[in-house]
Amino acid sequence: MSAHSSDPSQALDAILQRHGRDPTRLLQILIDAQDIEGWLPAPLLTRIAGALVLPRARVEGVAGFYSFLHTRPVGRYRVLFSDNITDRMLGNAELLDALCRKLWIEPGHLSEDGLVSVTTTSCTGLCDQGPAMLVNGRAIGQLSHRRINEIAELIRQQRPLDLWPTEYFQVDDNIRRRDALLGLDMAPGAALQAAVARGRDGWLAEMQASNLRGRGGAGFATAVKWASAKNAPGAPKVVVCNADEGEPGTFKDRVLLNSFADLVFEGMSLAAWAVGASQGFLYLRGEYRYLRPQLEAVLARRRAAGLLGKAILGQAGFDFDIDIHLGAGAYVCGEESALIESLEGKRGTPRIRPPFPVTKGYLGRPTVVNNVETLAKTCLIALGGGEAFAATGTAQSAGTKLLSISGDCASPGIYEYPFGVPISRVLEDCGASDTQAVQVGGASGICLAGYEFQRRIAYEDVPTAGAFMIFDGTRDLFEVARAFVHFFAHESCGFCTPCRVGTALLKGFMDKLADGHGAQADLADIDWLDRLLKNASHCGLGSAAPNPVIDTLQKFRPAYERRLVSLDFEPAFDLDAALAEARQLTGRDDHCAHLKTHEEEEK
Amino acid sequence: MTKQFLLDGQPVPFDDGQTILEAARKAGHYIPSLCWNKDFPPHGSCKLCVVKAAGRHVSACATPAKEGWEVESNTPEINGERRALLQMLFVEGNHFCPSCEKSGNCELQALAYEYEVLTPRFRHFFPDRPVDASHPDVLLDFNRCIFCELCVRASREIDGKSVFALTGRGIGKHLVVNAESGRLGDTDFAATDAAARICPVGVILPKGKGFAVPIGERVFDVATIRSKTLKESS
């Protein structure tokens, strides 16, 4: 629950003080200030703008960008149901309805007493233990009707979250297969010691020999990124760990941060040693806010052990420390230049590139942005050498990959495989049967049909950031694609025309088909929109947004075609549905209040 | 010898650092734009200037020209995409040209003529965007906003006021003003601000003056946006 201070104005002063009234910390200030009353009233934004000497409109601009910041009142209990396709497959919609019925509220509306609001949010990264929700930012998985009943009761009793049963908040790692990384038992500092012994150049040479490529999905060579930042003029240099794991179906970073945080932070220090960086940020997605206290504790331990701070491991000039910045519900901030904007306290809008962050990143300084898993992997290279690392996996994809497996299988969870593993092997290991399709790489990834299950997880074949969602023969691939289209429309930052309007239009077309008004002409329009989004979008979000539709239209076309009414064109407008509001206002639902029924009867 | 690239097969000279859009226009080749303005760094949001450079789609306004590049701009494929982008801008807002004071002076409308937008093609969103008439001298009609951020940039960088900003996200993105009340009348905005004259569409309009120039004699009634732009760039 919110930390109800006796005096909100004093509470805000303390927050501003803590953040040094630094405008680049605007997002962090807004996140903290929201805890005062649970939302951000207009006068509060005015005060923050005044204290930071920023235009008020800019503060409002930032507050309005992030899903987890509220400029209108929300419930003292804010319930957000995770709405990934895997949550939907586990019946989250029914549970949401049940909770709303029990609390006498409508989804998306604040209860009249201001007690509770219930709505959905994008994937919260608990796909292996869904359906899941966030209550005031705290994650609860394994929802069932029984648990929903209990939660409704707890909310009605206004029981503080700290007094809710602790097992609700238990998040399991569900590690099912360990390889080099998850099997590593490393004393904190061991990898850093090995790298420091090699010298900065020697360590970078090991990285080059390792052929490590970014685990965020794009697969850019990590050593090339590091070398570019190292050689870029300007200081102080910055290392950012991208823990904005927003790709639907991905949760490997959650597990790494929960149980392998030392490897991640050590990887950041290794990057700092290579590029000569002095400042580090962990950009933690808002959905994982509950991990923050334990991550701060790990950082404190590392500082005490001399692994962070001044003259690390006794090396004069090796000064580096890490600050945790929270996201607030914006998938687009996983894009590195949008992430940097967000780190600077702005709206998370992707920048024009070039210049790339390695030369002009955070506050214009050379900045390395790496994925959580990429950074953790650098420990293996520091310990075992670059060549040994390069010898594993495939020729173009060295090392192992963590897969976040969810959907229709017996054992969802985290699986670590050497690159090159065939899809069929993964399906067998996780106990999937009658598999119709696998979505690899999340919503922006690729949908594989049965005839492609011999393909391999590797940059040269099926690249992935780690999501692996399984759909058996009972699933409707049209609904899968529609869920992802809704996701992209919700997460578009709105900067460029094709993505802002295109994702909303695509959503409209998919809903039209779902409502039974689709025609052949719509498939042609969908096709055309897909291409425009791919070609003309400003960043990867927009160009990836049509992927689920392109793939499923190509591989599962009957799922679309059987929804079409056999006409060339069919309007989306439904005259009877348009009267719904009038019916609600007049309290009528008899057959005369329905247009079609009325007409049909006359016939 | 000056460097050059090929635009639709024709050589275009450029100086280092010059963008495709600037070099093309200077050489007399039209590439459309809405959010670009010579007084500000490239923005790259409207995407009207999309071209295909060396096989890749890029924003001509934000992409520095490169020696030897082959750039496609005035092709059926690219013009088709531009038409679709214009249609998107029309359907996401509420644009009723016949009753708009900006008709004939509006760049969105002029581009729609230029690229032969004959239908809206997509379904209309009909967003609810109330007007703001609180300022004594200036009316804000948000229905027509295309999010080019020219007013945001002009107010911040030329007027030093930051009267405007964007908030919201995705299709819910919208323009706000620098006042807790949300009303322009409560800001320090003045009709003499650069931001008051920069809107390419009909959002920011002076009050007390309407249809002073008759329809038929307005900027784009007497010249196409192509010819006007090229004249200004030469």
pLDDT per position as a tens digit, B33-82: 999 999 999 999 999 999 999 999 999 999 999 999 999 999 999 999 99
Same domain, yes or no: B37 and B104: no
B100 & B195 share domain: yes
Question: What gap in Å lies between CA A62 and CA A33, rounded to an integer?
Answer: 13
Q: Single out the residue in B41, B74, B107 at which a domain terminates.
A: B74
Q: Tell me: do B70 and B94 sit in the same domain.
A: no
Residues of B in contact with A498 (CB under 8 A): 47, 85, 88
Quote the minimal CA–CA distance from B55 to chain A in Å: 11
What is the third-level CATH fold of A480-561? de novo design (two linked rop proteins) (1.20.1440)
- What does the pLDDT read at residue A450? 97
Cα–Cα distances in angstroms (integers) from residue A534 to residues A16, B2, B37, in the given order: 42, 34, 26
Over residues A241-264, the mean pLDDT reads 97
Chain position carrying tokens 């976040």: A404
- Closest CB to A61: pick one of B88, B91, B166: B166
pLDDT single digits (tens) A185-216 = 999 999 999 999 999 999 999 999 999 999 98
DSSP category for residue B170? G
**Residue A250 near residue A466 (C-beta atoms within 8 A):** yes
Residues B34 and B93 in one domain: no
Q: Tell me whether strands B70-72 and B3-7 are parallel, antiparallel or unpaired.
A: parallel
First-to-last C-alpha distance (Å) of chain B: 21
Say if residue A176's pLDDT is above 50: yes
**Residue B148 domain flag:** yes
Of A323, A366, A178, the residue nearest A259 (C-alpha): A178
Assigned domain for B99 exists: yes
Alpha-carbon distance of A141 to A169, in angstroms, equals 7
CATH topology identical between A400-475 and A480-561:
no
Burial class of A263 by CB neighbour count within 10 A (0 to 12, 13 to 18, 19+): buried
With contact defined as beta carbons under 8 Å apart, do A498 and A542 qualify?
A: yes
At A4, list the tokens: 């109800």
Give me the DSSP letters along A530-549. HHHHHHH-SSHHHHHTTHHH
Q: What is the pLDDT of residue A573?
A: 82
Give the DSSP letter of residue A564.
Answer: B
Name the H helices within A311-393.
336-343, 372-384, 386-390
Closest CA to A136 of A324, A11, A4: A4
> Which residues of B are less than 8 Å from A67 in CB distance?
169
Strand bridging mode A467-472 / A321-326: unpaired
Tokens of A468: 């692996």
CATH topology of domain A177-390: Rossmann fold (3.40.50)
**B185 in a structural domain:** yes
Tell me the average pLDDT across A276-287: 97
Which of B30, B45, B74 is the C-terminal boundary of a domain? Answer: B74
Cβ atoms B197, B138 nearer than 8 A: no
Domain that holds residue B92: 85-208
Residue B131 region by backbone torsions, left for phi larger than 0, else alpha for psi between -120 and 50, else beta: beta
A400-475 maps to CATH 3.10.20.600? yes
3-state secondary structure A212-269: CECCCCCCCEHHHHHHHHHHCCCCCEEEEEEECCCCCCCCHHHHHHHHCHHHHHHHHH
Confidence grade of residue A25 (pLDDT, cut at 50, 70, 90): very high
Contact assignment for B85 to A536 by CB distance below 8 Å: yes
Would you list the domain boundaries of chain A?
8-63, 77-172, 177-390, 400-475, 480-561, 575-603
Residues A192, A312: contact at Cβ < 8 Å?
Answer: yes
Query: Is the pLDDT at A602 greater than 50, yes or no?
Result: no
Q: Are residues B53 and B115 in the same domain?
A: no
* Same-domain status, B94 and B193: yes
Asked whether residue B218 is assigned to any structural domain, the reply reads: no
Q: Is A299 in contact with A508 (CB distance < 8 Å)?
A: no
pLDDT at A2: 45
User: Is position B234 within any domain?
Assistant: no
Q: Among A320-324, A385-389, A404-408, B230-234, whose mean pLDDT is lowest?
A: B230-234
Contact in structure between A485 and A507 (CB atoms under 8 Å): yes
**Checking DSSP bridges between strand A116-121 and strand A77-82, what pairing results, if any?**
parallel
| Residue B13's pLDDT band (cuts 50, 70, 90) | very high
Residue A530's closest chain B neighbor by CA? Answer: B81
Place of tokens 């400029």: A71
Q: Do B167 and A501 touch (CB under 8 A)?
A: no
Determine contact, residues A245/A285, Cβ cutoff 8 Å. yes
Residues B110 and B51 in one domain: no
Out of A58, A66, A504, the one facing B171 most closely (by C-beta) is A504
pLDDT of residue A8: 80
Number of domains in chain B: 2
Question: Residue written as tokens 């506050």?
Answer: A363
Which amino acid, A197?
Answer: A
Residue tagged 């999937």 (tokens) = A432
Q: How far is B92 from chain A (nearest CA, A)?
A: 7
Residue given tokens 């949001």 in the structure block: B45
CA of residue A217 relative to chain centroid, distance? 13
The residue behind tokens 């008020």 is: A56
pLDDT digits (tens, 9 = 90+) for B125-135: 999 999 999 99
- Specify whether B199 is located in the same domain as B93: yes
For chain B, what's the residue count?
A: 234
CB contact under 8 A, B176 and A57: yes
Helix (H), strand (E) at residue A446: strand A446-449
> What is the largest distance, in Å, between two alpha-carbon atoms of chain B?
58
pLDDT in tens, A488-535: 999 999 999 999 999 999 999 999 999 999 999 999 999 999 999 999
**Which residues lie below 8 Å from residue A179, measured CB to CB, with a gap of 6+?**
A400, A416, A417, A418
Report the pLDDT value the prediction gives residue A596, as an integer from 0 to 100: 67
Which positions ≥6 away from A415 have C-beta within 8 Å? A176, A177, A402, A403, A405, A426, A429, A430, A468
- CA dist A233 and A153 (Å) reads 59
Return phi, psi of residue B137, to 5°.
Answer: -110, -15
The CA-based angle B52-B56-B58, given to 5 degrees, is: 65
- Strand locations in A292-343 (E): 321-326
Nearest to B153 by CA among A553, A58, A596: A58
Does the pLDDT at position A3 exceed 70?
Answer: no
- Side-by-side strand order, sheet with A446-449: A175-177, A413-418, A400-407, A467-472, A435-440, A446-449
Q: pLDDT tens digits, residue range B88-117?
A: 999 999 999 999 999 999 999 999 999 999
Which of A347, A494, A497 comes nearest B88 by C-beta? A497
Q: What is the mean pLDDT of chain A?
A: 95
pLDDT score recorded for residue A575 = 84
B89 and B204 belong to one structural domain:
yes
Burial of A3 (0-12, 13-18, 19+ CB in 10 A): exposed
Of all helices (H) and strands (E), which one includes residue B206?
A: strand B204-206
Collect all residues from A whose CB is shorter than 8 A from any CB in B.
42-43, 45-46, 55-58, 60-67, 330, 347, 352, 489-498, 500-505, 508, 525, 528, 532, 535-538, 572
Closest B-chain CA to A65 = B168
Which amino acid makes up residue A86? T
Cβ B63 vs Cβ B53: under 8 Å: yes
Provide the β-strand partners of residue A321. Answer: A279
Q: Which of A90, A129, A144 is nearest to A475 (CA)?
A: A90
Backbone dihedral angles phi then psi of residue B211, each to the nearest 5 degrees: 50, 40
Query: Residue A179: exposed, middle, or buried by beta-carbon count in 10 A (0-12, 13-18, 19+)?
Result: middle
Closest Cβ opposite residue B171 in set A66, A494, A537? A494
In a domain, B194, yes or no: yes
Residues B89, B202: one domain?
yes
- Contact call for A504 and B122, based on CB within 8 A: no
Q: Is residue B217 part of a domain?
A: no
CA distance A34 to A52: 16
Question: B129: which residues sit within 8 A by CB, 6+ positions away?
Answer: B93, B94, B142, B143, B145, B174
pLDDT of residue A263: 98
CA distance to partner chain B, nearest, from residue A40 (Å):
12
> Averaged over A141-145, what is the pLDDT?
97
Same domain, B132 and B22: no
From CA A155, how far away is CA A144, in angstroms rounded? Answer: 16
* Mean pLDDT (whole number) for A241-255: 97
- Report which DSSP code applies to A518: B
- The H or E element containing residue A11 is helix A8-18
pLDDT for residue A601? 47
Mutate which of B169, B184, B189 to disrupt the A interface (most A C-beta within 10 Å)? Answer: B169
Question: Starting from the edge strand earliest in sequence, which strands make up the sheet with A367-371, in order?
Answer: A321-326, A277-284, A237-243, A367-371
Q: Which of A55, A528, A537 sits opposite B165 (nearest CB)?
A: A55
Residue from A496, A522, A531, A539 to probe the interface with B (highest B Cβ count within 10 Å) = A496
Q: What are phi and psi of A522, to 5 degrees?
A: -70, -40
Q: Which residues pair with A277 in a beta bridge?
A: A237
Calculate mean pLDDT across residues B183-212: 96
- Please, what's the b/e burial string for A568-584 (b: 16 or more CB within 10 A of its CB; e: otherwise)? eebeeeeeeeeeeeeee
pLDDT of residue A218: 83
Q: Is B123 part of the contact surface with chain A (CB cutoff 8 Å)?
A: yes
CA distance A86 to chain B (A): 24
Same domain, B99 and B203: yes
Q: Looking at chain A, how many residues does it have?
A: 603
Q: Tokens for A569, please give them.
A: 């064109």
A548 in the Ramachandran plot: left (φ > 0), alpha (ψ -120 to 50) or beta?
Answer: alpha
Cβ-proximal residues to A384 (8 Å cutoff; 6+ apart), any chain: none
Q: What is the CATH number of the domain that holds B103?
A: 3.30.70.20
Q: What are phi and psi of A284, to 5 degrees?
A: -100, 125
Among residues of chain A, what percentage have pLDDT more than 90? 91
> Residue B107 falls within a domain, yes or no?
yes
Residue A6 is predicted with a pLDDT of: 59
Strands A435-440 and A413-418: unpaired
- What is the CATH superfamily name and number for domain A77-172? Glutaredoxin (3.40.30.10)
> Distance between CA atoms of A362 and A354, rounded to whole angstroms?
14
Contact at 8 Å (CB) between A84 and A128? no
- Among chain B residues, the shortest Cα distance to A347 is held by B167
Q: Are A8 and A37 in contact (CB under 8 A)?
A: yes
